[in-house]
Amino acid sequence: MYTGDEITTILESLQVTHVVWLPDSTLGPWEDALQDSAKLQLVRVCREGEAWPLAAGLFVGGKSPLVMMQTTGFFESGDAMRNIVFDLRLPLFAIIGIRNWLDPHSGDSAKAFAEPIAAAWGLNCDWITSAGDKPKLAEHYRHCRRTQQPGLILLAEGAG
């Protein structure tokens, strides 16, 4: 949906300083553009559970990180997110790639559980399901920063 250059330009305009990520096949093609940015730093983690506390350290240290991962990693890192967002009450923002969301024939359980789990955490989510939704990323990010609350962009994947 986004090219690497598009997403990098948007994140730079939002003054994101670090992208803490573990990519999937939709987010992965953004790597070169994110890596080449002079305005933000790409930080690679080995498992998604590391991403939330690492971003927390950046945030507390005065930076503006953004977490990026796929649905399965979001599930895996639920305890880390819970601790950082609800115990430490840090308003982190993440882009979560929702695997197979756009494939109507997919029986992927990761697709089935994505929305209910995001809702169960009570997180402020906004969906991007088509090219027309692209402006929502910047809008939702700015809203969450302005209101100092955590937020997610749920990025529909699997358009074929």
Q: Which residues contribute to the site for another protein (CB under 8 A)?
A: 18, 20, 41, 43-47, 49-63, 65, 79-80, 82-84, 87-90
Neighbours of 101 (CB within 10 A): 22
Closest CB 20 distance from another protein, rounded Å: 8
Phi, psi of 14 (to 5 degrees): -85, 0
Closest CB 108 distance from another protein, rounded Å: 25
Residues near 51 by Cβ (< 8 Å), separated by ≥ 6? Answer: 20, 21, 22, 45, 67, 69, 73, 77, 80
Helix (H, G, I), strand (E, B) or coil at 39: coil
Nearer to another protein, 43 or 102 (CB): 43
Nearer to another protein, 70 or 100 (CB): 70
Nearer to another protein, 117 or 138 (CB): 117
Closest CB 18 distance from another protein, rounded Å: 7
